[in-house]
Structure 1
Amino acid sequence: MQSNAPTVPFPAAPASRKRLAVVLLNLGGPDKPESIRPFLVNLFTDPAILRVPGFIRPLLGRLIAYRRTKPATENYAILGGKSPLLELTIAQGEALEAVLNTDGDVEAKCFVAMRYWHPMSDETAAAVKAWGAEEVLLLPLYPQFSTTTTGSSAIAWEKAAKRAGLVAPTTTLCCFHSFPDFSAATARQVREAWDKARAELDPAIPLRVLFSAHGLPETIVEAGDPYQWQVEQTVERVVERLDLPGLDHVVCYQSRVTPQKWISPSTEVELERAAHDKVAVLVVPIAFTAEHSETLVELDVEYREEAEKLGVPGYFRAPAQNSDPGFIAALAALVRHARRQDRPLCSFAGPRQCPNRFGDCSHVLLRNVNTGGRAKVPA
């Protein structure tokens, strides 16, 4: 598993096995308290995140980062002063490598490219080139595509690869929101958490599942971003796999950070409704595939405390996938599937999956990322 630029040459691969670099795209997180503000500056000055005129963005983004530094520092202090996301992503890559390298036709190595903190795309692209990759696959660890996540990361990678002189054929997998293996692996973890919660609850207390995803401003969705639709598709497939007839469940959204109107319902509102209805809740992080501050702090600490204050009769949380064997097997199946596609950009099912009303589907935003065309980037 390689996460940053090597300092020594890599040995040549056997001639019979193609060198495949699987680049895991993720958000990133600060690696020490001093990194928190620059991490936030990188986040809030990204044109995919802060959609204001370019001449305003640097100043406004830094102002938002300044205001968010104190609460973010308090949150990361709970986690020891840093995000666990890099270590967990590296572990996912190591597990994925082990599975892929059982295939006889490929020598796979996983690399990590974080969007807002190290290792970022420039250092990772240099590492992929130094390794001598003959083929590159961009594998987002976001199941659902958004212009703010996979879209931003893929565009950053395209620019970094050009700067590094990396010319290996590249395939971008845009999403896997309804991939059957992913749905099955997720449903198994949710069912285990459900059974555990039910065993601890009074049988007379109902249990509601809150599928909680990171939110977005409504304006981004209204502009054509398919994220909310894809989240809903994920939940539908997972609920089908759970096979719990009459399951009480809802999709909700967390992590609002701006005063704009965000997609709803919010997770906070759903906690209030659960308290009113006198039902316990099982919170499932449906758009996060590794633990980080928004699961370990926001869900496990802040929302738990809020639920207790509101009088919710039970609060439980399903884990993120991390290196769950079923999830890693699903990623390996996605890699194999994407490699069989004769296209530089593919979904979990090959061609575009989003309805036409989503003008910011990856197949519009990124269709030229790997073919030398000009990608659509928010102003």
Structure 2
Amino acid sequence: MTRRIAVVLFNLGGPDGPEAVRPFLVNLFTDPAILRVPSFVRPWLGRLIAWRRTKAARENYDILGGGSPLRELTEQQARALEAALAAKEPGSEYRCFVAMRYWHPFSDEAARAVKAFDPAEVLLVPLYPQYSSTTTGSSIAAWHDACAAIGLARPTTTLCCFHSDAGFAGATARLVREAQAKARAALPEGVKLRVLFSAHGLPERIIKAGDPYQWQVEQTMAAVVGAMDEPGLDHVVCYQSRVTPQKWIGPSTEEEIRRAAAEKVAVLICPIAFVSEHSETLVELDVEYRHIGESLGIPGYFRVPAQNSDHAFIQSLADLTRRAQHSARTLCSFAGARQCPRQHTDCPHARAQSLAAKAA
């Protein structure tokens, strides 16, 4: 008999129309993994933040036609991954399900669909290359809650991250090289080009509390630069999308654009922590930051496209999924065992070890 395997793809989600913007923001800012305040404060404070940000967010989504393209792009990735897995393991039936964190389809919708599929096992695969308690960690918790609510219990393997996976790095490096060639062809002779590897930022206190995200982002940049094999490449990692007044990790993407403009260096921005186009790439990078750079007289502003359903990326995701499935682990990184240094106590492997120690 054909063995059924459910692959659940985690992603952030995005509003599918103007009327969904505020509830999407409420879901985001009332998540305890995002808004780390006492539980009795979070509901009203999260709603207040969402209310204050709704107008600006709607204006951004208006640029995209009123809603986010993320669900459609993620569904396309799911179908492409199904085809890639079927080609690699024809004796198994893989079905990919999408579980968004803050808008439809939520984890409970995906869990009901998985239960109806009745798989022999479940593979949880984040579409966040780098692990953070605010993204993958929050999605995993929501998934387990959804499964508990409907009594879905199947052998489950969780892939926590793939920040330095060779296939992922190689696929990303190719996209950077292609965009780099186009940028250099468009620039006047003698103008230098700097690659800005831009990732979504986090408050510094979350990193200091043990979240491995920043370390993993830096590992991704190193892996991609290594795969590009271009000695002397001018590059830097930076962080975008700051939304609160507290101190965030840096340098910020805006700061690096301003520095490049002052030095008369063109920039090629690579969204290193996103594998699908959405508002942070299509609006923040392509519209807002471009405007800042051009208003400062930057000699050139270019961007690497997100992976979306790029063939090499999907193949790397299929390889990651199969390695996780055959790892004989319930929790694995792209390389199997834990990869994060010990100071990153919010690494899911560290949390699992801590829970095991308490149980013993």
Q: Structure 1 length as normaliser, TM-score?
A: 0.93
Aligned to 1:85: 70
Q: Could you tell me how far 1:160 is from its partner in structure 2?
A: 0.5
**Partner of residue 38 from structure 1, selected from 17, 23, 29:** 23
**Partner of residue 34 from structure 2, selected from 49, 54, 74:** 49
Aligned to 2:136: 150
Q: Could you tell me how far 1:107 is from its partner in structure 2?
A: 0.3
Aligned to 1:328: 314
Q: Could you tell me how far 1:105 is from its partner in structure 2?
A: 2.6
**Partner of residue 93 from structure 2, selected from 95, 99, 107:** 107
Aligned to 1:238: 224
In 1, Cα distance between the equivalents of 2:279 and 2:34? Answer: 18
In 1, Cα distance between the equivalents of 2:352 and 2:242? Answer: 26
Any gaps of 5 or more consecutive residues in structure 2?
A: none
Please list, as runs of the form range in 1=range in 2, the aligned pairs for 1:108-147 lying within 5 A after superposition.
108-147=94-133
Which structure 1 residue ranges, 4+ long, deviate > 6 Å from structure 2?
A: none
Q: For the Cα contact (< 8 Å) 1:345–1:367, is it kept in 2?
A: no
Between 221-230 and 160-169, report the one with greater CA deviation: 160-169
**Secondary structure of 1:87's aligned partner:** helix
Q: Deviations over 1:199-254 (max 9, x none)?
A: 11112100000000000000000000000000000000100111111000000000
Q: For the Cα contact (< 8 Å) 1:155–1:366, is it kept in 2?
A: no
In 1, Cα distance between the equivalents of 2:120 and 2:352? Answer: 22
Any gaps of 5 or more consecutive residues in structure 1?
A: 1-14, 375-379
1:136/1:368 CA distance change after superposition, 3 Å: farther
Residue 12 of structure 2 corresponds to residue 23 of structure 1: no
Q: Number of aligned pairs?
A: 357
Residue 181 of structure 2 corresponds to residue 192 of structure 1: no
Q: For the Cα contact (< 8 Å) 1:274–1:281, is it kept in 2?
A: yes
**Partner of residue 357 from structure 1, selected from 343, 347, 350:** 343
Q: Deviations over 1:37-88 (max 9, x none)?
A: 0000000000000000000000100000000100000000000000000000
In 1, Cα distance between the equivalents of 2:297 and 2:207? Answer: 33
In 2, Cα distance between the equivalents of 1:268 and 1:251? Answer: 12
Aligned to 1:314: 300
Q: Deviations over 1:267-288 (max 9, x none)?
A: 0000110011100000000000
1:114/1:75 CA distance change after superposition, 3 Å: same
1:367/1:175 CA distance change after superposition, 3 Å: farther
Aligned to 2:55: 70
1:366/1:142 CA distance change after superposition, 3 Å: farther
**Secondary structure of 2:134's aligned partner:** helix
The amino acid that maps onto 1:271 is I
Residue 259 of structure 2 corresponds to residue 270 of structure 1: no
**Partner of residue 204 from structure 2, selected from 215, 218, 228:** 218
Q: For the Cα contact (< 8 Å) 1:175–1:347, is it kept in 2?
A: yes
Q: For the Cα contact (< 8 Å) 1:211–1:251, is it kept in 2?
A: yes
Q: Could you tell me how far 1:364 is from its partner in structure 2?
A: 2.6
Q: Could you tell me how far 1:134 is from its partner in structure 2?
A: 1.1
Q: For the Cα contact (< 8 Å) 1:151–1:365, is it kept in 2?
A: no
In 1, Cα distance between the equivalents of 2:300 and 2:316? Answer: 32
Q: Could you tell me how far 1:367 is from its partner in structure 2?
A: 6.0
**Secondary structure of 1:290's aligned partner:** coil
**Partner of residue 298 from structure 1, selected from 272, 284, 293:** 284
The amino acid that maps onto 1:214 is H
In 2, Cα distance between the equivalents of 1:201 and 1:341? Answer: 47
Identity between Structure 1 and Structure 2 (%) = 67
In 1, Cα distance between the equivalents of 2:116 and 2:6? Answer: 11
Q: Could you tell me how far 1:23 is from its partner in structure 2?
A: 0.3
In 2, Cα distance between the equivalents of 1:357 and 1:176? Answer: 19
**Secondary structure of 2:72's aligned partner:** helix
Aligned to 1:95: 80
**Partner of residue 44 from structure 2, selected from 32, 56, 59:** 59
Q: Could you tell me how far 1:311 is from its partner in structure 2?
A: 1.1
**Secondary structure of 2:147's aligned partner:** helix
Q: Could you tell me how far 1:368 is from its partner in structure 2?
A: 9.0
The amino acid that maps onto 2:148 is K
Aligned to 1:6: none
Q: Could you tell me how far 1:366 is from its partner in structure 2?
A: 5.4
Aligned to 1:7: none
The amino acid that maps onto 2:345 is G
Q: For the Cα contact (< 8 Å) 1:282–1:318, is it kept in 2?
A: yes
**Secondary structure of 2:247's aligned partner:** coil
**Secondary structure of 2:36's aligned partner:** coil
